[in-house]
Amino acid sequence: MGRQLGTEGGQFAVSAAVLVIALAVLMALVVLGFFSLAVLREYERG
């Protein structure tokens, strides 16, 4: 029983880690998008 709970906890930890990594990647892409837009605008102003 204790082992079963430990396994479930491990699976939850793995899924939580995957979720956190996915959110971090998504936020990084959003930041890169805004940064590239800002760079393009500055470049167009020239």
SS3 for 4-38 is HHHHHHHHHHHHHHHHHHHHHHHHHHHHHHHHHHH
Q: Residue 42: pLDDT above 80?
A: yes
Q: What is the pLDDT of residue 4?
A: 63
What gap in Å lies between CA 16 and CA 7, rounded to an integer? 14
Q: What is the pLDDT of residue 10?
A: 83
Where are the chain's structural domains?
Answer: 21-46
1-41 confidence digits (pLDDT tens): 456 666 777 888 999 999 999 999 999 999 999 999 999 99
